[in-house]
């Protein structure tokens, strides 16, 4: 864009939906597709047996991406503006919300990759500014915080309140990325650490949240020799499975045993709902969970948020898909 900087849309919370294709497994058991994206903002429930006379209920969002959409499109059309705002000194959070196996990790890995590309492209295009990029990675499991770049620090890092910086994670490693290759390496270290946990503890990934935080600082020496700097974080968040967001299904049945509710996820949904209502919503309970404390300065206020709600198309998952869409609707 003219003027050098990326163009930023005004919206504070962008809500998108990504419907993945039917998986091999689902095809093998002859599960069927129950959802269709009818344009780039609308998704409808359309089970195979639906009678023609019934008009399907449609749901609209800022963008919806169908099963043939690639992650690049999700990035470009859904979240790029939010990601790039961190280059302009505005804190940003991008997260994927959806039931286990709906495509959160698949989507966030791709989005992270595209965001890193874009950040370094912007750095090349902006030689007048000096940039520093730092990365930290953490996992929240059972309200315990673990450093993904330093496993020796234990599984339960403390949160500290810093009057200026807000909530900090004690002893969390922040590595300065020398270049884009180094940054990609550090990101894959975080991803690998989470996977290690996954095999050891069976299904940690459905219960844990992963945050990759890129802190982008840039400075510019103006004509009078003054240095002007900008600093902001981009938080890339792969959430626990949304089946842990509430105690009851929409039909009121209790979730199956062992499917404990997740305090951080439940608090995040409350925070997002209150933020979307705006000024009249009253107290926002950031302090009720580790996830929302850590993200407080990157949600609400001047911060920008992009939510990608991931959906399985399968008929057998309709109940969870409805829950996800109802979260998406309330976030808007």
Residues lying near ligand ADP in the complex (CB under 6 A) are found at: 20-21, 23, 98, 100-106, 310
Q: Position of tokens 């206020």?
A: 301
Q: Which residues bind Mg ion (CB under 5 A)?
A: 104-105, 205
Least distance to ligand ADP, CB of residue 214, Å:
20
φ/ψ of 286, rounded to 5, equals: -55, -35
Query: Smaller CB distance to ligand ADP: residue 112 or 310?
Result: 310
Angle of CA points 172, 173, 174, to nearest 5°: 115
Length of the chain equals: 332
Residue nearest to ligand ADP (CB): 103
* Minimal distance, residue 19 CB to ligand ADP, in Å: 8
Burial of 202 (0-12, 13-18, 19+ CB in 10 A): exposed
With CB under 5 to 8 Å by kind, the binding choice for 21 among ligand ADP, Mg ion, none is ligand ADP
Q: In this complex, which beta carbon is closest to ligand ADP, that of residue 173 or of residue 255?
A: 255
Rounded Cα distance between 67 and 46, Å, is 15
Residue 195 · residue 219 · CB < 8 Å: no
**Min separation Cβ 197 and Mg ion, Å:** 12
| Two structure tokens written together for 116 | 């890193």
Residue 58: contacted member of Mg ion, ligand ADP, none (CB under 5 to 8 Å, by partner type): none
Centroid of chain to Cα 56: 29
Binding-site partner at residue 106 among ligand ADP, Mg ion, none, CB < 5 to 8 Å by type: ligand ADP
Rounded least distance, CB 42 to ligand ADP, Å: 18
The H or E element containing residue 306 is strand 304-311
Please say which residue, 209 or 304, places its beta carbon nearer to ligand ADP: 209
User: Which residue in the shown chain puts its C-beta closest to Mg ion?
Assistant: 105
Least gap, CB of 23 to ligand ADP (angstroms): 5
Enter the tokens of residue 88. Answer: 């302009």
């Amino acid at each position: 864009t003219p003027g050098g900087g990326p163009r930023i849309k005004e919206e504070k919370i962008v809500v998108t939906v990504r419907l993945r294709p039917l998986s091999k497994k689902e095809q093998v058991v002859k599960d069927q597709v129950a959802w269709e994206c009818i344009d780039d903002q609308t998704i409808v429930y359309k089970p195979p047996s639906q009678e023609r006379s019934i008009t399907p209920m449609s749901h609209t969002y800022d963008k919806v991406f169908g099963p043939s959409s690639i992650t690049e499109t999700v990035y470009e059309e859904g979240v790029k503006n939010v990601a790039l705002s961190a280059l302009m000194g505005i804190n940003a959070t991008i997260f994927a919300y959806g039931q286990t196996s709906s495509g959160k990790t698949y989507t966030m890995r791709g989005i992270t990759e595209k965001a890193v590309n874009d950040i370094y492209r912007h750095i090349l295009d902006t030689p007048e500014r000096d940039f520093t990029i730092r990365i930290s990675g953490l996992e929240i499991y059972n309200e315990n915080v673990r450093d993904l770049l330093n496993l020796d620090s234990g599984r339960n890092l403390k949160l500290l309140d810093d009057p200026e910086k807000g909530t900090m994670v004690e002893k969390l490693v922040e590595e300065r990325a020398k270049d884009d290759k180094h940054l990609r390496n550090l990101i894959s270290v975080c991803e690998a650490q989470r996977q290690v946990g996954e095999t050891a503890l069976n299904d940690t990934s459905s219960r844990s949240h992963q945050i990759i935080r890129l802190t982008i600082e840039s400075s510019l020496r103006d004509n009078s020799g003054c240095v002007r700097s900008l600093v902001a974080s981009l938080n890339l968040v792969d959430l626990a499975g949304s089946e842990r967001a509430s105690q009851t299904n929409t039909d009121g049945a209790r979730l199956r045993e062992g499917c404990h509710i997740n305090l951080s996820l439940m608090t995040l949904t409350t925070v997002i709902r209150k933020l979307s209502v705006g000024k009249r919503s009253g107290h926002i309970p950031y302090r009720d969970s580790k996830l929302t404390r850590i993200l407080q300065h990157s949600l609400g206020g001047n911060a920008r948020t992009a939510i990608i709600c991931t959906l399985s198309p399968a008929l057998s998952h309709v109940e969870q898909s409805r829950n996800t869409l109802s979260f998406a609707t309330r976030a808007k």
